[in-house]
Structure 1
Amino acid sequence: MAKPEKTRKNAPSKATPAKPASGKAAGKAPAATIEIAAVGPATPDVLDRLFDVVESRRGTDPSVSHSARLLARGRRKIAQKFGEEAVECLIEAVADNREELISESADVLYHLIVMWVDAGVKPAEVWTELLRREGTSGVAEKAARPRDPLA
């Protein structure tokens, strides 16, 4: 299984809690952060930075960049890798292997971002969709979707 490219040196595995980032919406719990020695706070904007790194690899030498290699192989291969990582994530969740679930979750997010880059989807578009759904019951949101006549 391929691991995401690192934009920073590998940090020691010991993480210490940091002060939470402030929440944007009034009354919302702040985003969780974890301070990682020698790296800094781990916050959700790491996904935006990872997207920028993957996007910068488009068209570069596939022999030196896993992202470039995946992008050069096309959407079918990217989707296949995403599916493989998703299955591995599910296996670790069912097996109650917390550390492996965390690792596989990172792989899933990385491969999803590679797929976004290939498809021209920007993270802000996904964040906007999540904001649109915020505060809506999952049952109500699903009921509001157009029905698939084949389902």
Structure 2
Amino acid sequence: MNEVNTILKKLTETLEARKKDDPTKSYTASLYRDGLEAILKKVNEEAFEAIIAARKGDNKELVHEVADLWFHTLVLLAHKNLSVEDVLTELSRREGMSGIEEKQSRVPKVK
């Protein structure tokens, strides 16, 4: 297993464990307690901060903010009982496919 997979696996295990932790002692547990809207708010906030860092041209800050964004996105996945593997499976499915082709392969949404 490469280093990236090892880090993601450990983080995923930690996030699952935090679901059972005391929300007064764990930031992540408090996010789970506060629910989907609180988690979505953090994902949105971190995405915005990453955009600002990119616009400023501050690569160090950008890496920091993207790490925050990834973390909160992983919290969101765990909250929805999804995993990194689910996302990697989808990325693997798309590999070698053009963006236009990928969009055309999606099941149309009912309006």
Gapped runs of 5+ residues in structure 2? none
Higher share in strand: 1
Deviations 1:71-110 (A, max 9, x none): 1100110001110000000111111110000000000000
Q: TM-score, normalised by structure 2?
A: 0.90
Residue 14 of structure 2 corresponds to residue 44 of structure 1 = no
Note if contact 1:59-1:72 (Cα within 8 Å) is conserved in structure 2.
no
Counterparts of 1:119 and 1:149, CA distance in 2: 22
Alignment of 1:15-94 (within 5 A): 43-45=3-5, 46-94=7-55
Gapped runs of 5+ residues in structure 1? 1-20, 22-42
2:69 aligns with 108
Structure 1 residue 148: deviation in Å? 4.4
Q: CA RMSD in A?
A: 1.5
**Higher RCO structure, 1 or 2 (CA under 8 Å, sep 6+):** 2
Deviations 1:1-52 (A, max 9, x none): xxxxxxxxxxxxxxxxxxxx6xxxxxxxxxxxxxxxxxxxxx3211221111
Deviations 1:129-149 (A, max 9, x none): 111111111121112223446
Q: TM-score, normalised by structure 1?
A: 0.67
Query: Which structure: larger Rg?
Result: 1
Higher share in helix: 2
